[in-house]
């Protein structure tokens, strides 16, 4: 290490001499059992339970079988209700039919209104397009004239401004 | 006689799932970790707990270990952090530590041992008054005896920062000793005059 450069630093030799009694201190312990026990406990906690492949197969097959059985039960229950003309099923069917009827009428109305609007506006749009095609050269000429007028206006303004500046009385003159 | 497996080899085996090989690493370094924790001001009765925590953290982040650096440097780093965390959470004062009579240059006399024990206790108290980010480099440099480069790696700081912290830490320690523990000042005034 280097020579002392800070004020107040008594230096390395002083520190070595002063701290000598602490250098004689040593300690020992047996940390291995506790550490290894902790590591093993943690490893066991995250390791999944050993399950045999046969148990996995049984679990899969039984799950699929139960799913199929549940679905079959549901379908058969629905069939029994429909075939047996259950009151609730009848109401659901009539409600569904009424909803379908309402939706169909509404759709028809919308389609009719759209067709009418289109048939009314289409001739007008056609005429407007024809008019635009005829008037196009006139519009182009008008546009050119307007642009030329704009340029003339800018040139005239510049001329007026420059002249006014030239003739303006000077401060202190 | 079969040679001991290298750290890197053991780490590779542990990462491959042979957890029992981690025991060899623990036994190889538990003294270093326990001593470093003690020198960082952890009371003796908590050393085993802190060491276990350190090795558990090492195991959890073993995949991030870079073999180009010594395992001991990494262990110092985790130990220092664990000790600082422990001290922050418990906020205990540094206590009088027992001294182990393990002097490399022969056993000290009983008087000297008692005196050293007392001085060590007072020094722990004095070190406890230094903020943790200054205390850690001081402990690693002047008690653990690590070179600057290794301290920088262990604390994940630039060497310049470590140097300036060491200057500041020594100045703080001197001031604390002068103000609160004048008996700890080294006899003969060994202050550097460089």
Q: What is the pLDDT of residues A31-63, one digit of tens each?
A: 899 999 998 888 776 655 666 778 888 899 999
* End-to-end CA, chain A: 82
Chain B contact present for A41, CB below 8 A: no
pLDDT confidence of residue A65: 94
pTM for the full predicted model: 0.55
Residues 6+ apart with CB under 8 A from B167: A4, A5, A6, A9
pLDDT confidence of residue A5: 52
Nearest residue, CB atoms, B116 vs list A21, A34, A38 = A21
Return the residue of B nearest to A2 by Cα.
B163
φ, ψ for residue A141 (rounded to 5)? Answer: -65, -40
pLDDT digits (tens, 9 = 90+) for B31-72: 999 999 988 888 889 999 999 999 999 998 888 888 888 899
pLDDT confidence of residue A99: 95
Considering the domain B1-97 in this protein, what is its CATH number?
1.10.1740.10
Which comes out higher in pLDDT, residue A92 or A48? A92
pLDDT digits (tens, 9 = 90+) for A68-85: 999 999 999 888 887 887
CB contacts of A42 in chain B (<8 Å) are none
Q: Are B56 and A35 spatial neighbours (Cβ–Cβ below 8 Å)?
A: yes
Q: Where in chain B are the domains?
A: 1-97, 102-188
* Structure confidence at residue B128 as a pLDDT band (50, 70, 90): confident
Q: Of A20-24, A117-121, B82-86, which has the strongest mean pLDDT?
A: A117-121
pLDDT digits (tens, 9 = 90+) for B75-126: 999 999 998 888 777 764 444 343 333 333 444 455 666 677 788 888 888 9
For domain B102-188, the question of CATH label 1.10.10.10 is answered with: yes
pLDDT confidence of residue B188: 57
Return the residue of B nearest to A6 by Cα.
B167
pLDDT confidence of residue A80: 85
Give, in order, the Cα–Cα distances in Å from B162 to each of A22, A45, A152, B194: 21, 42, 80, 20
* Structure confidence at residue B1 as a pLDDT band (50, 70, 90): very low
What's the full length of chain A, in residues? Answer: 173
If DSSP codes are grouped into helix, strand and coil, which group holds residue A25? coil
Q: Do A35 and B164 touch (CB under 8 A)?
A: no
pLDDT confidence of residue A50: 60
| Residue linked to tokens 């350190």 | B54
Q: Is the pLDDT of residue B184 over 60?
A: yes
């Amino acid at each position: 290490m280097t020579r002392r450069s800070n004020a107040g630093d008594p230096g390395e030799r002083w520190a070595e001499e002063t701290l000598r009694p602490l250098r004689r201190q040593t300690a020992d312990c047996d940390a291995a059992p506790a550490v290894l026990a902790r590591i093993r406990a943690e490893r066991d906690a995250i390791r999944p339970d050993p399950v045999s492949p046969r148990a996995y197969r049984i679990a899969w097959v039984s799950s699929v079988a139960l799913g199929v059985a549940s679905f079959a039960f549901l379908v058969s229950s629905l069939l029994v209700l429909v075939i047996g003309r259950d009151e609730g099923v009848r109401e659901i069917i009539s409600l569904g039919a009424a909803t379908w009827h309402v939706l169909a009428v509404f759709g028809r109305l919308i389609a009719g209104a759209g067709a009418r609007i289109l048939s009314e506006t289409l001739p007008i749009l056609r005429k407007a397009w024809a008019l635009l095609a005829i008037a196009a050269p006139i519009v182009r000429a008008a546009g050119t004239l307007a642009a030329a007028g704009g340029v003339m206006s800018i040139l005239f303004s510049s001329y007026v401004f420059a002249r006014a500046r030239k003739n303006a009385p000077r401060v202190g003159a | 006689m079969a040679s001991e497996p290298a750290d890197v080899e053991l780490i590779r085996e542990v990462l491959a799932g042979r957890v029992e090989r981690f025991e060899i690493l623990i036994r190889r370094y538990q003294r270093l970790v326990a001593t470093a924790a003690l020198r960082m001001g952890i009371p003796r009765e908590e050393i085993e707990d802190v060491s276990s925590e350190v090795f558990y953290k090492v195991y959890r982040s073993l995949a991030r270990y870079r073999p180009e650096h010594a395992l001991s440097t990494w262990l110092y780093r985790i130990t220092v952090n664990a000790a600082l965390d422990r001290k922050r959470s418990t906020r205990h004062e540094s206590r009088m530590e027992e001294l182990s009579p393990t002097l490399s240059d022969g056993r000290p006399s009983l008087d000297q041992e008692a005196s050293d024990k007392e001085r060590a206790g007072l020094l722990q108290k004095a070190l406890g008054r230094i903020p943790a980010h200054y205390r850690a480099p001081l402990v690693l440099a002047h008690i653990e005896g690590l070179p600057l480069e290794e301290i920088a790696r262990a604390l994940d700081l630039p060497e310049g920062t470590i140097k300036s912290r060491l200057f500041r830490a020594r100045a703080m320690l001197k001031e604390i000793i002068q103000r609160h523990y004048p008996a700890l000042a080294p006899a003969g005034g060994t202050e550097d005059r460089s």
